Amino acid sequence: MRFLLVEDNADLAASVAARLSMDGHAVDQAASLAEAEDCLGAASYDLILLDIMLPDGDGRDFLSRHRAAERETPVIVMTARSAITDRVDALDTGADDYITKPFDFAELEARCRAVLRRRGGAAQTRRSFADLTFDPLAATLVVAGDSRDLRSREVRLLEVFLNAPGRILAKEHLIDRLFSFSEPVSDNAVEVYVARLRKKMTGSRARIETVRGLGYRLTAD
Amino acid sequence: MAVSLRRRLVWQLLALSAILSVALFVAVRIGAERASEVTMDAILGAAAQNMAEELRVSDGGVGIDVPSGTFSMLAAMGEERIFYRVDVGQLTVTGYEDLPLPEKVPTALVPVFYTVPFRDAEVRIAAVARSVRIEKTLRPALVLLGQTREGQRSIAAELANRAALLGMAVFLAAIPISLFVARGLIRPIDSLAEAVERRGPRDLRPVRHPAPTELLPLVTALNRFIGRLRGTLSQTETFIAEAAHHIRTPLAIMRNEAELALRQSESEAARDRLRRLIRGADDAARSAGQLLDHATVLYRAEQADLAKIDLAEMVRAVANRLHAAAEMKDIDLQITVEEPLPAEGDAVLIEAALRNIIDNAIKYSPSDTRVEISAHRIGKNGEILVMDRGRGIGAASPELLKRRFRRGENVADVAGSGLGLTIVAEAAEAMGGHFELFAREGGGTCAKLLLPLS
């Protein structure tokens, strides 16, 4: 997916962009509303991540103009202002969703998926591996013409595997991707979700291998 | 020491009526005595004049025809004794020659009155003078007529006693009247105090209760104080909002960098440190948010910023907002709302209450469970139920969990500030509603929020 990140704090923008790139997304950065307008004029994006307080104006004004110009690109507001009134405001001015800084990237991705799904989705988000077709927006996995619904954690787990096919992924690494850091995780949690995903993949040439003592790997026959 | 105004007023009114009663008694007593003395003096003087006129000179001697009618009239005023003395020249002609003479001898028939002790009694004497012709010579004659006043005294004493009784009666009547008057005067103070007392703990609107002019300075001072308090609260809210904002951006950088490092790090020891770092950042952000929410709720609660809202719509909107958080844990949010549920309320407060309840349910629920959210009308209230299959509230009392910074004993492994339920309870209270938390049958927790509908 292609993101436009409008954020004036350079450190924060760099870290968000790095993290999104790591998951295979393309990110253009804008440090002001003027730069954001330039970017929007030059390219089209799947999603805009918008900060509220910017050096040349309020992100909410940008939102109003964006909506008035009937531009369809969905917007997720990233705000450091967590006051309840600010949250209500952001949605009233036409943001598709908002996320309060600091945020969990898994949650940001979940929100992006939800927004894109509501907006009718982009077909180019579909991914294939061997005889699998995976649609993260619709949360479906198609195996040889047979469509199967995935739960949120199964979607995330499959995305992690599809981002690094053939690579051995350690259990700890998968825990970090599947669970929030403040949530208690049982020892066999990863096994449970891997087992579920394997069940959803039944009948496919693709499979998740257990590499004893090291982790898991997505391979295909 | 504090002095009761009412008591002081009653005492002052009573002292005043006591003084009035005594004055009444004294006035009646002196007045009665004076009046009877004047009357009796007039009779006594008339009798003395009468006697003097009856002085006859015959055959070179002086004779007096004492008028018995006069005496009986004098004696009739009670059991009085009568004394007389008639002098012609330097000689006592008849009567008591030791009856004392007046200090200033009268020169005419106009009586001179005086009181002297005589024969173990006080005697009131009227003295008149005239001249009698004896053998062609004019000789001065003096007639003294005395009368005891014991009967008159006893009548006056009785009158005084009656006056005393009347005074006492006036005083006794003054007691309930003083109490009544005092209560009437104190009533505006009491009703003002009651109006201030009746306010909710968060009601910081100025006092508009009608008060008598004398109390206006107090009411004005009170309102100024309330205004300053409100200003301080609002400053605190702004300060917390700014502080939260300034903390959140660096926390976000810290968290993102830690997450990036975690993705790239191969050393499990370093990864563990990074996880703890992220947890710390999340805790700090969460606490900052909850503190801000709490300050907002406290501040808004006293503003009573009411608007027409639909509770059903709000429940749905807040639940949908939290959908992503639930999805992260594969938790299903099952929303059943009966609509519409129109209410008069502060949308911000209700949003805070709903969000905290649902957020709590999601936070304490294990993965792959269901959180049931329902809203429906029960009588005059909207009842919002949020039921989870989480760990429950454990041994802690639900009332205790609503207290500030108080957390259950079974949640040490989940990050939290201990403010969530406090925010819900305070928001519910401010909206005239009620919040309850109890164990759900079959495990889990049920949170019940009652809010009045319009």
Q: Lay out the sheet containing A2-6: strands in order across.
A: A26-30, A2-6, A47-51, A75-79, A97-100
Bond before A102 cis per omega within 30 degrees? yes
Residue in chain A lying closest to B238 (CA): A83
Q: Is A114 on the interface with B (CB under 8 A)?
A: yes
Q: For residues B429 and B425, what is the distance between their CA atoms, to the nearest angstrom? A: 6
- The pTM for the full model equals 0.64
If you classify domain A2-118 with CATH, what class do you get? alpha beta
CB contact under 8 A, A15 and B260: yes
User: Has residue A97 got a pLDDT over 90?
Assistant: no
Nearest CB partner across the interface for A80, out of B249, B262, B347 = B249
Q: Which of B240, B351, B367 to mutate to test the interface with A (most CBs of A within 10 A)?
A: B367
CB contact under 8 A, B330 and A83: no
User: Has residue B395 got a pLDDT over 90?
Assistant: no
Q: Which residues of chain B does A118 touch, with a Cβ-Cβ cutoff of 8 Å?
A: none
Residue in chain B lying closest to A189 (CA): B367
Return the number of CB contacts < 8 Å for A and B.
120
CB contact under 8 A, B348 and A182: no
Q: Is B329 on the interface with A (CB under 8 A)?
A: yes
- Look at the domain A126-220 and name its fold: Arc Repressor Mutant, subunit A (1.10.10)
Mean pLDDT for all residues in chain A: 87
Q: Is A11 on the interface with B (CB under 8 A)?
A: yes
On whether the CB atoms of residues A110 and B328 are closer than 8 A, the answer is: yes
Q: Give the domain extent around B360.
A: 306-454
User: Has residue A87 got a pLDDT over 70?
Assistant: no
On whether the CB atoms of residues B350 and B291 are closer than 8 A, the answer is: no
**For B231-235, what is the mean pLDDT?**
81
Q: Which residues of chain A does B243 touch, with a Cβ-Cβ cutoff of 8 Å?
A: none
Asked if residue B42 and residue B133 are part of one domain, the reply reads yes
- Alpha carbon B293 to its chain centroid, in Å, reads 38
| Terminal alpha carbon distance of chain A | 29
Q: For residues A212 and A185, what is the distance between their CA atoms, to the nearest angstrom? A: 21
Asked if residue B119 and residue B15 are part of one domain, the reply reads yes
Q: For residues B146 and B81, what is the distance between their CA atoms, to the nearest angstrom? A: 8
As a dihedral over the C-alpha atoms of residue A43, residue A44, residue A46, residue A48, rounded to 10 degrees, the angle is 60
DSSP H or E segment with residue B310:
strand B307-310
Which domain CATH number covers B149?
3.30.450
Asked if residue B297 and residue B313 are part of one domain, the reply reads no
Q: For residues B391 and A184, what is the distance between their CA atoms, to the nearest angstrom? A: 12
Query: Where on the phi/psi map is residue B368: left (φ > 0), alpha (ψ -120 to 50), or beta?
Result: left
Asked if residue B351 and residue B271 are part of one domain, the reply reads no
Q: Please state, in angstroms and as integers, the Cα–Cα distance from residue A154 to each residue in A90, A174, B330, B389, following that order.
A: 31, 11, 9, 22
**For B352-380, what is the mean pLDDT?**
92
CA distance B322 to chain A (A): 10
Q: Please state, in angstroms and as integers, the Cα–Cα distance from residue B103 to each residue in A41, B113, B125, B128, B313, following that order.
A: 134, 10, 12, 13, 113
Q: Tell me the backbone φ, ψ of residue B132, rounded to 5 degrees.
A: -120, 145
pLDDT at site A83: 58
Asked if residue B148 and residue B9 are part of one domain, the reply reads yes
CB contact under 8 A, A110 and B327: yes
Interface of A with B in 77-106 (CB under 8 A): 80-85, 87-88, 97, 100-106
DSSP H or E segment with residue B424:
helix B420-430
CB contact under 8 A, B256 and A15: yes
**For B265-269, what is the mean pLDDT?**
87
The DSSP secondary structure of B179-194, one letter per residue, reads HHHHHHHHHHHHHHHH
User: Has residue A94 got a pLDDT over 80?
Assistant: no
pLDDT at site B452: 92
CA distance B317 to chain A (A): 11
**Total length of chain A:** 221
Mean pLDDT for all residues in chain B: 84
pLDDT confidence tier of residue A121, bands split at 50, 70 and 90? low
As a dihedral over the C-alpha atoms of residue A197, residue A201, residue A206, residue A209, rounded to 10 degrees, the angle is 40
DSSP annotation of B18 reads: H
Domain total in chain B: 3
Q: Which residues of chain A does B262 touch, with a Cβ-Cβ cutoff of 8 Å?
A: 176
Reduce the secondary structure of chain A to three states and give it as a string. CEEEEECCCHHHHHHHHHHHHHCCCEEEEECCHHHHHHHHHHCCCCEEEEECEECCEEHHHHHHHHHHCCCCCCEEEEECCCCHHHHHHHHHCCCCEEEECCCCHHHHHHHHHHHHHHCCCCHHHCEEECCEEEECCCCEEEECCEEEECCHHHHHHHHHHHHCCCCCECHHHHHHHHCCCCCCCCCCHHHHHHHHHHHHCCCCCEEEEEECCCEEEEEEC
Q: For residues A77 and A94, what is the distance between their CA atoms, to the nearest angstrom? A: 10
User: Has residue B88 got a pLDDT over 90?
Assistant: no
Nearest CB partner across the interface for B296, out of A18, A83, A107 = A83
pLDDT at site A89: 63
Strands (E), B8-136: 55-58, 61-64, 82-88, 91-95, 112-118, 121-134
The residue behind tokens 């105004």 is B5
pLDDT confidence tier of residue B207, bands split at 50, 70 and 90? confident
Q: Enter the tokens of residue B211.
A: 């008060």
Asked if residue B424 and residue B314 are part of one domain, the reply reads yes
HSE at residue A133, side-chain half, CA atoms within 13 A, is 11
pLDDT confidence tier of residue B303, bands split at 50, 70 and 90? low
Q: Which residues of chain A does B316 touch, with a Cβ-Cβ cutoff of 8 Å?
A: none
Residue in chain A lying closest to B295 (CA): A83
pLDDT at site B202: 64
CA distance A115 to chain B (A): 10
CB contact under 8 A, A182 and B263: no
Q: Is B293 on the interface with A (CB under 8 A)?
A: yes
Least confident of A143-157, B130-144, B228-242, B397-411: B397-411
User: Has residue B1 got a pLDDT over 60?
Assistant: no
Domain regions of chain A by residue span: 2-118, 126-220
Asked if residue B9 and residue B151 are part of one domain, the reply reads yes
CB contact under 8 A, A114 and B327: yes
Is B174 a domain residue? Answer: no
User: Has residue B164 got a pLDDT over 60?
Assistant: yes
Interface of B with A in 231-250 (CB under 8 A): 241, 244-246, 248-249
The more confident residue out of A110 and A193 is A193
Is B356 a domain residue? Answer: yes
Per-residue pLDDT tens digits for A135-190: 888 889 999 889 999 998 999 899 899 988 899 998 888 988 888 887 778 878 89
Q: Please state, in angstroms and as integers, the Cα–Cα distance from residue B1 to each residue in A210, B4, B183, B190, following that order.
A: 84, 10, 21, 20
CB contact under 8 A, B367 and A100: no
Asked if residue B119 and residue B26 are part of one domain, the reply reads yes
Is B177 a domain residue? Answer: no
User: Has residue B242 got a pLDDT over 80?
Assistant: no
Least confident of A83-87, B163-167, B295-299, B408-412: A83-87
Nearest CB partner across the interface for A82, out of B244, B275, B323 = B244
Asked if residue B323 and residue B273 are part of one domain, the reply reads no
The radius of gyration of chain B's CA atoms, rounded to the nearest angstrom, is 51
Q: Is B281 on the interface with A (CB under 8 A)?
A: yes
pLDDT at site A219: 93
Q: Which residues of chain B does A197 touch, with a Cβ-Cβ cutoff of 8 Å?
A: none
Strand partners, B452: B381
Last residue of a domain, one of B283, B304, B325: B304
pLDDT at site B342: 92
CA distance B407 to chain A (A): 16
Q: Which of B238, B240, B246, B263 to mutate to test the interface with A (most CBs of A within 10 A)?
A: B263
Q: Is A64 on the interface with B (CB under 8 A)?
A: no
User: Has residue A197 got a pLDDT over 70?
Assistant: yes
**For B178-190, what is the mean pLDDT?**
86
Nearest CB partner across the interface for A102, out of B248, B260, B352 = B248
Last residue of a domain, one of B270, B304, B338: B304
Asked if residue B270 and residue B393 are part of one domain, the reply reads no
Residue in chain A lying closest to B285 (CA): A102
Q: What is the identity of the amino acid at B34?
A: R
Q: Which residues of chain B does A181 touch, with a Cβ-Cβ cutoff of 8 Å?
A: 275, 278-279, 282
Q: Which residues of chain A does B414 touch, with a Cβ-Cβ cutoff of 8 Å?
A: 182-184
Residue in chain B lying closest to A114 (CA): B324
Q: Tell me the backbone φ, ψ of residue A89, rounded to 5 degrees.
A: -55, -50
Which domain CATH number covers B311?
3.30.565.10
Per-residue pLDDT tens digits for A47-78: 999 988 888 988 888 888 888 888 888 999 88
Asked if residue B10 and residue B152 are part of one domain, the reply reads yes
pLDDT at site A116: 86
CB contact under 8 A, A100 and B347: no
Is B227 a domain residue? Answer: yes
Query: Where on the phi/psi map is residue A213: left (φ > 0), alpha (ψ -120 to 50), or beta?
Result: left
Q: For residues B55 and A195, what is the distance between their CA atoms, to the nearest angstrom? A: 155
Q: Please state, in angstroms and as integers, the Cα–Cα distance from residue A54 to each residue in A48, B275, B415, following that order.
A: 15, 31, 31
Is B279 a domain residue? Answer: yes
pLDDT at site B415: 65
Interface of B with A in 249-278 (CB under 8 A): 249, 251-257, 259-260, 262-263, 268, 271, 275, 278
Pairing label, strands B370-378, B434-439: unpaired
On whether the CB atoms of residues A21 and A1 are closer than 8 A, the answer is: no
**C-alpha angle A210-A214-A219 in degrees, rounded to nearest 5:** 40
Quote the percentage of chain B above a pLDDT of 70: 93
pLDDT at site B46: 87
**C-alpha angle A121-A123-A129 in degrees, rounded to nearest 5:** 125
User: Has residue B335 got a pLDDT over 90?
Assistant: yes
pLDDT at site B323: 86
Nearest CB partner across the interface for B256, out of A12, A153, A176 = A12
Least confident of A185-189, B14-18, B235-239, B274-278: B235-239
Least confident of B259-273, B302-316, B433-447: B302-316
The more confident residue out of A15 and A187 is A15
